[in-house]
Amino acid sequence: MGYRFTDLTDACHDDWRAYLEHDFVRQLGAGTLDEGAFRHYLQQDYLFLIHFARAYALAAYKSRTLTDLRQAHEGLKAILDVELDLHVGYCREWGISEEMLAELPEARATMAYTRYVLDTGNRGDLLDLHVALAPCLVGYGEIANWLNAQAFTVRGETNPFEAWIAMYESEEFQSAMLAELEWLDARLAGIAPARFAELARVFRDATRLETDFWQMGLDRAI
């Protein structure tokens, strides 16, 4: 029997749940998150997304088939057309101009995570890179779905973070997530146990770096 994406999450179950159910996520869902913490997160996320767009461009460069090239394009589109567009507008609403974004110092957690993914992609193959990218695309889609299933989540205008949840539950983002899951399931199906163990390490490391990113937001750390 071949491997699937869920084998990656099963292999680091506690780390995966710690990322999806982090206090930052819970407070965001409940609408109680400190606005300064959210603003700090949002600013760092702008820098993060620029590096992740570069990582999808690297995936395009490493693609040898049209299918792989299209998949890299899907990820790049999700960042450029869905997330970054909304992000810049959203930052403006939160009092953060594009000029301010251009001058931002990069937090250590942002640097660690983005450079880890780019380095994994540079030294590894296309599958290493997609696995390193998966906690980002798949994780945020799952977080939106998880939040929607929690009794404490407040939806609508009374939650200042409503637009954030709405972006990740949107049809566009969810379909990019499903396309990535399909791509990963097809690639993981044919690999040997030793290769799976390597990929599970990459996935766990990237998942932990996501958790550090939430914590950086809560702590407003630079």
Positions annotated as catalytic residues are 136, 210
CB of 59 to ligand NSP, least distance (A): 14
76 vs 137 by CB, closer to ligand NSP: 137
CB of 32 to ligand NSP, least distance (A): 20
Query: Using the rule CB under 6 A, which residue among 15, 74, 83, 180 binds ligand NSP?
Result: 83
119 vs 189 by CB, closer to ligand NSP: 119
Q: Hey, what long-range contacts does 105-111 have (CB within 8 A, 24 or more apart)? A: 105/222, 106/44, 106/47, 107/44, 107/216, 107/221, 107/222, 108/216, 108/221, 108/222, 109/44, 109/209, 109/212, 109/213, 109/215, 109/216, 109/221, 110/44, 110/47, 110/48, 110/51, 110/213, 110/216
Query: Using the rule CB under 6 A, which residue among 8, 12, 33, 49 binds ligand NSP?
Result: 49
Binders of ligand NSP among 148-207, rule CB under 6 A?
none
Query: Using the rule CB under 6 A, which residue among 140, 161, 164, 183 binds ligand NSP?
Result: 140
Nearest Cα to Cα of residue 43 among 79, 4, 90, 112:
90
Question: Residue 154 has which token pair?
Answer: 């407040």
- Rounded to an integer, what distance in angstroms lies between the CA atom of residue 168 and that of residue 61? 27
74 vs 83 by CB, closer to ligand NSP: 83
CB of 61 to ligand NSP, least distance (A): 20
Nearest Cα to Cα of residue 218 among 22, 51, 47:
22
16 vs 213 by CB, closer to ligand NSP: 213
3 vs 40 by CB, closer to ligand NSP: 40
The answer to whether residue 136 forms part of the interface with ligand NSP (CB under 6 A) is: yes
Query: Using the rule CB under 6 A, which residue among 72, 76, 213, 216 binds ligand NSP?
Result: 213
Report the sign of the C-alpha dihedral through residues 44, 47, 53, 55, in that order: negative
Nearby residues of 100 by Cβ (< 8 Å), 6 or more positions away: 43
The answer to whether residue 74 forms part of the interface with ligand NSP (CB under 6 A) is: no
The answer to whether residue 76 forms part of the interface with ligand NSP (CB under 6 A) is: no
Angle (CA) 22-26-29 rounded to 5° is: 140
Residues that bind ligand NSP in the complex, under the rule CB under 6 A: 45, 48-49, 83, 136-137, 140, 210, 213
